[in-house]
């Protein structure tokens, strides 16, 4: 049987002339292409909100396509981008993740009666109140995350060094993601 083409202006260019009833091997890859075309159309008419929404839909569809169309490395990269900062469209998500990481590590570094993490302070007394201890641990976490390394506080012991290394690695990764986020914002505005 013959299928009618959709009656949309420019449909052949929009969806590559695929007709209703045609078999599409990968529906997610097809959807990704359609969202990309819609994004380009919205961008051409200046509708930024719809353009950004279509970009998120395009990336979600591409990430959902089978691993033949989307390589495992692309899938991992897109998954990180989706959940970390909404493919660059949700910068507040990113700020939330940064704060969560810093506070989580500050909680780990905060000295306890069990001495789980041994941190050496030069000229600072850990025997203050819990609030001042947490403030010092928060300071250490921020300095470590930002990879500044002033040297007034340093890890002392195996677990402390392990957690510091993990936080430094996360700081490097988040810095790279921040650059991607800023680039996405600049290219859209």
Condensed to tens digits (0 to 9), the pLDDT of residues 13-22 reads 444 444 444 4
Q: Can you tell me the distance from the alpha carbon of 136 to that of 153, in angstroms, rounded to the nearest whole number?
A: 9
Answer with the residue of higher pLDDT: 125 or 167: 167
pLDDT, tens digit, for every residue of 156-177?
778 888 888 999 999 999 988 8
Residue 155 DSSP class:
E
- Domains of the chain (ranges; CATH) run 11-70 (no CATH), 92-188 (1.10.287.70)
Q: What does the pLDDT read at residue 172?
A: 92
pLDDT class of 127 with cuts at 50, 70, 90:
low
Q: What does the pLDDT read at residue 21?
A: 45
CB atoms inside a 10 Å sphere around CB 154: 16
Q: Which range is least confidently modeled, 60-69, 73-82, 83-92?
A: 60-69
- The answer to whether residue 102 scores a pLDDT higher than 70 is yes
């Amino acid at each position: 049987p013959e299928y009618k083409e959709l009656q949309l202006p420019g449909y052949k260019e929009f969806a590559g002339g695929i007709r209703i009833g045609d078999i599409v091997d990968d529906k997610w890859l097809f959807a990704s292409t359609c969202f990309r075309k819609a994004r380009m159309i919205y961008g051409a008419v200046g509708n930024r909100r719809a353009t950004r929404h279509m970009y998120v839909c395009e990336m979600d569809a591409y990430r959902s396509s089978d691993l033949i169309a989307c390589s495992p490395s692309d899938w991992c990269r897109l998954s990180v981008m989706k959940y970390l900062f909404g493919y660059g469209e949700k910068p507040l998500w990113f700020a939330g993740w940064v704060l969560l990481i810093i506070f989580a590590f500050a909680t780990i570094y905060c000295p306890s009666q069990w001495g789980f993490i041994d941190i050496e302070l030069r000229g600072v007394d850990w025997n203050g109140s819990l609030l001042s201890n947490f403030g010092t641990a928060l300071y250490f976490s921020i300095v470590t995350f930002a990879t500044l390394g002033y040297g007034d506080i340093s890890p002392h012991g195996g677990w402390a060094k392990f957690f510091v290394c993990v936080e430094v690695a996360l700081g490097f990764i988040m810095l790279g993601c921040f650059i991607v986020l800023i680039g996405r914002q600049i290219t859209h505005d």
